[in-house]
Structure 1
């Protein structure tokens, strides 16, 4: 059925007919602004009227609707019994339908087994109604021979629309506009629009994305009037020749009723409003405007998103303005040259993330402020690219990316993962939708077309994507050809061809998901023909993003052009519980079955848009300026494509044992794509004698405020650590005290402190100062950590189950307590780990009358077939008031063996802030490279842990919950009200991984071999 055929009556059969996806829909077109007069400032088009706000709605079974006699569409229908709902919004977030989350499988699987293109019998439809009066502006345009349409910018999954009881149209693909001409359906006074929004249609087979299955009118609805003479579509092609420094643009304008227009003029203005170029000539239905060669034009890039405004004015035969159309454009050339993607002549590296439109309260009905927050997070964390996974986003997002400078892969609303993939990643080509099935070709090509027509003019859109995880087939070849028919310049991306190489011609880019870095390198080293892109990598589920540096290291290969981290935001729904509290919920929490549970918690930001600790690593590894600090200076490598470092401030600091003792600001001007060395006269000799170690630091900072960060904001840093001359531990000063060796216990008193060691309890049972006790139960050996999402996915729990209780249930099989001298006591305990090997671990305390205790925990290593160890050290329950943490180590956020591109310094936090609220509770709060840590109460009293003389830095965390509490809980609100604080001091903890969350283990170099000795050596003191 063609869009030109006007259909007067709705048919239920369309729901299950994949060849019918749009009835009476206005052809897709650009979303340029237009006016019936000269606009003033930045005013919105006065020919649009919002229908957002309160609507009436009732949700019923689809089987209850009779398309031949449906009363709810009538103007005089009494909808007073209907619910009230806000548009934009979801039926689920309004409490009118149940939340459902699945990843690959279709949500009806098991309840029913419909065959494509059919839909489940249990199918809901939401009956929406709204009354409105056409504004004077729109009515005036209509009276002057113009038209009025109703536009649904986003809905799920299929809609039928009536205005004043008359059928307006039917549409699918709810992530691009469904627009219907309602000029002849409107009348004076109050009008009524009625919408039947279906949960399932044949379109549901094409929309099996890994997201919450949310329905309703979730983007804006509006009326849009078009003047009698109207530019229906603007397709603008810009170019920039980096060799000559010249730019140009060509615009093709589709003009409605062009015979009633006399002339058309076009003016190009820069950001200051100054005219750069202009022309005027006659109008026809397809009017072409070419700028010719333009001089002194600033090209557009993410580094400098220079925008120009093209104003097109149509004058009628009476000399009046018929219409003014406005489009912002950017001049840039994006091409694949010799197998490498380039922008303005320079090889590009995408430092990207995949982004769902999502909010914990509003679902996909996100606001402009949400989008502003997201783009600012990207800029502040050196993320230069977003893939619109897996559907076109709201118009405003593209405007922001044009303005702030974010590269986009614009992705078609298409994913059919569950149609061709069975458990265990078993492929079933014969059931693949769309595959090579001709009945699906029209709908899929239409989806590409709708996206491209709307978004074509945005300079931020560099690549078109044909969709996600939908296998391959002839339908994709048709989509690819259509995309290049419209746009011969932008490349087309589609990862699905990796499942069937007969369709390699469908993607201009070699694009993959979750391939390990070593496998990527094999491609890059073997005469690559296409540019390589990881459209998804670094599965950021829970505590993840380990070993990311292995991927950024691949940037040394020209054909490697970066990747997109999966994904941007945790998809979790904030829902009220039966007890009145609220919590972030994941799949299954709403009784939805089947469900893929917490698998939607993959974000670099939490569901409330707070940055996760993982973002710290991403920011440093994605930085464009790399600083290699040495004792003689700094090497600055500028990976920016066009921007020198001259506009930044470089803050220099010297830290003596973590404390800043010297600072200076410099300017280092390194051209783009170049590296330069700069000598720095560090005052090392001045501070080395009184420090155990010095940290030399160079920090790249904004010299001036931008629209996304204030002046002084840090973008990247580099550090070097050099040894000082001060001994690691000062000599013990004799202090009057008492050492007592009893029959059951031994103790040391001195300096107001007392330490007590039990022969029967197997360790230190008291460590007290001024009446404050710091040992509730003796510190225990730990060989375990609460499993991360990646641990669960890789089967670490199954493989390492013996370490779960090895330390917790270890038994003391021997002790030796001896008085070393008048001031010192040593208590050594031998434990057998609760494993079949019964490996013996020694825990030795050496206490003296200064109040200090040296704690040494030694694991000897055990030969044999043993799994690597998750962690090794001690876990110590402290009174709950000791919740504050100050430490000298890598920070400020949590770090791990494979995720510690962090800054060495002294950081202050507390156990609550250090507990990252991952969607599923798991290991969190670890800090690597720790020299010392202070655990204190609100008065500054507490415990200090120092690395012992000659010992390596240690890892530690302070949490309100024990490892086993974290392991047991399924949601954050299931964790108990804290009654204690839990200090973990570790010789080592394995990395967190990040290649994926379902198969890949932590890389071997970040694991802890069980056949090698491990030792924790720290000094304790009460403060």
Structure 2
């Protein structure tokens, strides 16, 4: 077989341009050879030996199943010239080979280097920093490196189960990357590529009784790699389960159970197409019985909804089809909200004995484009989706059922209803779980050639390269054939970021010939070969423009809201657009999970690795650009996770008249009425519930609105009141307990806060020299140093509140977020960083208002930005310090440095690590990402604050702060109270901005700079508390991480004047109630000197 194919390929070389000196690579450098001897694609099902096992549908319980998972002998070689002759023979000496787990990626197992790149081909990365690593100067499909193309050799011995005798045996390889030769008992069986759908080989004729061997030769790079340029770890090996299937010579070769809805979406339609094959050389007489049961069936007691028996005579070597259309009246309908299912059981008998039985959970649902809208079961839904990569922080691309369930559970709890399988089909079990538990799926073909760009010129985009047409259509076909029976799939996707052209026209036409549900492709844009306009990272303005001007297709973003690092800004505005415009039907957030890999450094310190943490310094890498998850690598929620839950919640509230307690509640569920939930409302003041309303029960239909009126008048004056709505589940389900909050909202009620005026009478003594201003009495010490350019001592009753002379100083910078770095903010805003570090004192003026009240006006020059920052300290004799700060705007110009923050920070002694605050929390939040947090009373200890991102950056901020107190264990502390109309931003932690900052690096590294390849464990805590008391901080953004900034309303204008004030009140000991009381003190000046 090898020689025959080699001769054929040699003849083919002139056609596809492969030179004769590359013959050793003939299989892996010829895109028209995508397999040899591989079986045709088919649906995912298993041939059980009896009906009860078939209904249970657990492969491992069947005698027809033999797992080949486990320990294999393994050898990794630099390239195929090192492959020893006969390595696949049982007589070959494998004693010096290692053992490797299967399934596993060999790089994760310690063989070779894990490489992460976004859109570059690692074997042909042309960037300066990879010089000396890559063998190829540029990607040149279908060629791959000759020298630097690792080959993994696998070898395993196994005893053949007795049941395999006289039957057909199929070798099922769940996934193998990127190309592989298959050997059984020393003979070459075939060749495969296409790494994310199963490869199956009929190996019956290769087997023998007793001991057998199976072996693989796996190439890291092949022409298939040009179609697998996805934004994830570039890993290799056997990634999914590998097992043997035994089946009778007469068996179900394939079946389609395609469902939709008829008669105004009330009746279920089942198109059944069963193919039986007789691999023997004689005619066989069999019967086929298929039954459809409602619900999950584990026995045969229940009466079937449909049952049909068919007698067949099948000639040797022939196949027959059974095709039948069935209607189920008033069917139970499947949706992500109500995943109602039926069980299809197909049984083949010979001589009245079962020779094969299989089952499938199917659901009746429809998915279509109608009148320019995407409809599921006749209803225009909002896709509240997320992109999902196949990732496990310990095993790379090997994901088990337990982790899949965990993902779906978390998604359900965050109100996510849809998944895009970016950018390849997931394992079989994933679709079964989405079908069972209810999750809409966009199933995407394993095609991405981002590294080739999108140009249709010759030698550019693979989308228009004729030699790749067969591979592209085959990948699409194999995806469809395996997954065609899963009702969770409501859209097919042609692939990702591969340009558009002839090859994708063909794959689109193929899918439209076999399916009625929509087909999408992002790179098609508004061309004809996509049923859904599915752009990625479209901004808010463009989406609104589309909604108004384009009506033929819905807009559903295939990727949006890039959750890299401290991100998630602007999500509120996206979801508002989905609610406002019917043809803006949601999107898929990028993405679900950070792709960190657990490892250790040379000293044994454990950490989560990202790109360039492995291998030599010049290894191709895009750094931490793989960490874009709503959840972290271990599936822990991140600070921004609840923003998704809030934005995707299906019950929303609106205040129509707060003074009268009038509200509207809208049920945004598509198929669920409000009788599944209880609505609760409470009124809180100063962190305590002051009134609880009776639980409310509604039967509000989907997409309908309910008016709510609650008595909120006559609340006692003197406090700020908030009304809080929560929607909780009445019953538990697979993912949410009874009483789980699926939606919530908070409103500030009209109220009048009463303040108490204080006139301090304790005199202060002024001592002023050329360098210092000292104000003091027996209880108070305030020392401003002109040399230090700040307050170096602030003491009350013997308690010092300033660490190491580091009092309040101007702050206009933040530790750069990933979005900041992607937009080159380290260049655009660098002048403000300099201004934060290199300010000078212009003048210090001291004036007495009374004997007990002094003003110290400090004006700072900010040479880097050519403006000034003025701070007036007003010290009262009882130790209270009012701070009024003003940043004067820069002179307006076309180009001004980007301003990230307006505020001040100081360093507190380490003991003051207990933070109590009244503002938004408990999760950190920012101006464009705070709507999922409520104003309430919260506390935390700075010692417990950890870095929540895989790469250190700005973190820990809280907005809308009324007051914040820092206390020590004795209860002594310092209270900061917002003055005026501007509420505070605050942040307290045992890290400094400087330590968290990325310096001048970016995720795509400037030339020759390996920048800050840093991780949280490397950032050491300091022995003091950094405390920010800011007026405002720029939003974190979220549209993308390669240039977009926060929405304009969340940006700062450096030409504008910013002024704010706060009061610092020292205390010896104070309860929470006393802190609230202190926050309402207003200091006045009774008598001027």
- TM-score, normalising length: structure 2: 0.88
Matches of 1:106 and 1:289, distance apart in 2: 45
1:25 is aligned to 2:38: yes
Does the residue aligned with 1:116 lie in a helix, a strand or coil? coil
Q: Once the 2 structures are TM-superposed, how far is the Cα of residue 712 of structure 1 from its aligned partner?
A: 2.2
CA–CA distance in structure 2, aligned partners of residues 379 and 779 of structure 1: 45
Match of 1:77 in 2: 92
> Do structure 1's residue 559 and structure 2's residue 583 form an aligned pair?
yes
For residues 285 and 297 of structure 2, what CA distance do their matches in structure 1 show? 34
Using the alignment, how far apart are the partners of 1:92 and 1:922 within structure 2? 29
Q: What SS class does the counterpart of residue 543 from structure 2 fall into?
A: helix
What is aligned with 1:477?
Answer: 505
Per-residue Cα deviation, 1:625-648 (whole angstroms, up to 9, x for no partner) = 111244413311111111111211
Q: What is aligned with 2:669? A: 640
Is residue 577 from structure 1 mapped to residue 601 from structure 2 by the alignment? Answer: yes
1:663-697: CA deviation from partner (whole Å, max 9, x where unpaired) = 23322332101111111123x424x3141x11111
Q: Contact 1:7/1:24 (CA < 8 Å) preserved in 2? A: no
Q: Aligned equivalents of 1:63 and 1:399: distance in 2?
A: 39
Give the secondary structure class of the aligned counterpart of 2:197.
Answer: coil
Aligned pair 1:497/2:518, yes or no? no
Structure 2 CA distance, aligned partners of 1:939 and 1:150? 70
Q: Retained in 2: the 8 A contact 1:780–1:808?
A: no
- After TM superposition, give the deviation of residue 939 of structure 1 in Å: 4.9
1:52 to 45, 51, 69: 69
Once residues 413 and 777 of structure 2 are traced to their aligned partners in structure 1, the CA distance between those partners, rounded to angstroms, is 52
Displacement of 1:205 in angstroms is 1.1
Which residue number corresponds to residue 152 of structure 1?
173
Contact 1:817-1:826 within 8 A present in 2 as well: yes
Q: 2:196 aligns with which of 175, 178, 184?
A: 175
1:931 Cα deviation after fit: 1.1
**Is the CA contact 1:6–1:24 (under 8 Å) kept in the aligned structure 2?**
no
User: How much has 1:157 moved relative to structure 2?
Assistant: 0.4
Question: Which residue in 2 is equivalent to 1:673?
Answer: 703
Q: Provide the residue aligned with 1:396 in structure 2.
A: 429
CA distance 1:8–1:574, shift in 2 (3 Å): farther
Q: Give the Cα–Cα distance (whole angstroms) in 1 for the partners of residues 216 and 257 of structure 2.
A: 34
Unaligned runs of 5+ in 2: 10-22, 127-133, 313-318, 1000-1011, 1068-1089
Name the CA distance, whole Å, in 2 between partners of 1:869 and 1:685. Answer: 44
Counterpart-to-counterpart distance in 1, 2:77 and 2:1027: 54
Question: Shift of the alpha carbon at 1:373?
Answer: 1.6
**In 1, Cα distance between equivalents of 2:946 and 2:151:** 42
TM superposition shift of 1:15? 1.3
Query: What is residue 698 of structure 1 aligned with on the other side?
Result: 725
Q: Is the 8 A contact 1:746 1:817 kept in 2?
A: no
- Indicate the residue corresponding to 1:1022 in structure 2: 1066
Q: Give the match for residue 924 of structure 1.
A: 955
Q: Does 2:378 match 1:345?
A: yes
CA distance 1:246–1:912, change in 2 (3 Å): farther
How far off is 1:884 after superposition? 3.2
Cα-Cα RMSD: 2.6
Judge conservation of contact 1:261–1:322 (CA < 8 Å) in 2. Answer: no
Q: Distance in 2 between matches of 1:778 and 1:280?
A: 84
Equivalent of 1:462 in 490, 493, 497: 490
Report how far residue 1017 of structure 1 moved: 1.2
The Cα offsets for residues 386-430 of structure 1, whole Å up to 9 and x where unpaired, read as 111111111111111112211111010111111125xxxxx4632
After the TM superposition, which residues 350-749 of structure 1 pair with which residues of structure 2 at under 5 Å, given as runs?
A: 350-420=383-453, 427=455, 429-487=457-515, 489-498=516-525, 504-555=527-578, 556-590=580-614, 591=616, 593-629=619-655, 630-631=658-659, 632-664=661-693, 665-682=695-712, 684-686=713-715, 688-691=716-719, 693-727=720-754, 729-732=755-758, 734=760, 739-743=765-769, 744-749=772-777
**Which SS does the other structure have where 1:525 is aligned?**
helix
Cα–Cα, structure 1 residues 784 and 244, in superposed 2: closer, same or farther, change >3 Å? closer
Q: Is the contact made by 2:420 and 2:588 (CA closer than 8 Å) also made in structure 1? A: yes
Pairwise mapping of residues 954-973 of structure 1 onto structure 2 (< 5 A)?
954-967=984-997, 968=999, 969-971=1012-1014, 972-973=1016-1017
CA contact (8 A) 1:739 1:819 kept: no
**1:754: how far off?**
4.5
Task: Output aligned runs, 1:227-238, within 5 Å.
Answer: 227-238=248-259
Q: Is the 8 A contact 1:17 1:202 kept in 2?
A: yes
> Per the alignment, in what secondary structure is the counterpart of residue 600 of structure 1?
coil
User: Cα gap change, 1:70/1:772 in structure 2, threshold over 3 Å: closer, same or farther?
Assistant: farther
How big is the shift at 1:898? Answer: 1.4
Contact 1:543–1:789 (CA under 8 A) maintained in structure 2: yes
- State which drifts further: 279-288 or 558-567: 279-288
* Distance in structure 2 (CA, Å) of the matches to 1:772 and 1:485: 79
- Equivalent positions of 1:192-203 (< 5 A) are 192-203=213-224
- In 1, the alpha carbon distance for the partners of 2:761 and 2:208 equals 97
Mean Cα displacement is larger for which, 351-360 or 973-982?
973-982
Q: Deviations over 1:711-762 (max 9, x none)?
A: 22222211211243332x4322657575554544333457x66444446544
CA gap 1:912/1:327 in 2 versus in 1, 3 angstroms: farther
- Tell me by how many angstroms 1:32 deviates: 2.1
Residues 557-592 of structure 1, C-alpha deviation per residue, up to 9 Å, x if partnerless? 222121111111112222211111122222222225
For residue 142 of structure 2, the aligned residue among 117, 131, 134 is: 117
Give the Cα–Cα distance (whole angstroms) in 2 for the partners of residues 811 and 703 of structure 1: 62
Alpha-carbon distance in structure 1 between the residues aligned to 2:1061 and 2:169: 77
- Give yes or no for contact 1:748–1:825 (8 Å, CA) kept in 2: no
Corresponding position: 1:907 with 2:921: no
Residue aligning to 1:424: none
What secondary structure is seen at the aligned counterpart in 1 of 2:837?
coil
Give yes or no for contact 1:7–1:23 (8 Å, CA) kept in 2.
no
Q: Distance in 2 between matches of 1:481 and 1:349?
A: 27
Distance between the aligned counterparts of 2:642 and 2:885, measured in 1?
A: 31
Would you say the 8 A contact 1:658–1:695 is kept in 2? no
Shift of 1:38: 2.3
Give the distance between the partners of 1:759 and 1:446, measured in 2 at CA: 74
Corresponding residue of 2:112: 97
Distance 2:931 2:473 in 1: 44
Aligned pairs (5 A) from 1:808-827: 808-827=837-856
In the alignment, structure 1 residue 981 sits paired with structure 2 residue 1025 = yes
**Alignment map for 1:280-295 (pairs within 5 Å):** 280-284=308-312, 285-288=319-322, 290=324, 292-295=326-329
Q: Give 1:62's aligned residue.
A: 79
Closer/same/farther in 2, CA of residues 459 and 447 from structure 1, 3 Å limit: same
Match of 2:882 in 1: 854
How far apart in 1 are the matches of 2:584 and 2:424?
25
- Does the 8 Å CA contact 2:835/2:865 hold for their aligned counterparts? no
Deviation, 1:910, is 3.6
Answering whether residue 904 of structure 2 is matched by residue 895 of structure 1, we say no
Contact between 2:80 and 2:151, CA under 8 Å: does it hold in 1?
no
Counterpart in 1 of 2:345? 311
Q: Distance in 1 between matches of 2:753 and 2:742?
A: 33
Equivalences for residues 988-1003 of structure 1 within 5 A: 988-1003=1032-1047
Partner SS state of residue 443, structure 1: helix
Deviation at 1:952, TM superposition (A): 2.1
Would the alpha carbon gap of residues 881 and 190 (structure 1) be closer, same or farther in structure 2, given more than 3 Å must change?
farther
C-alpha contact 2:639 2:948 (8 A) present in aligned 1? no
Q: How does 1:199-218 map to 2 (within 5 A)?
A: 199-218=220-239
Mapped partners of 1:973, 1:772: distance in 2 = 33
- CA contact under 8 A between 1:157 and 1:203: conserved in structure 2? yes
Q: What's the offset of the Cα at 1:454?
A: 0.9
Structure 1 spans left out of the alignment, 5+ residues: 422-426
Deviations 1:590-637 (A, max 9, x none): 225332222112111112221221212121111111112444133111
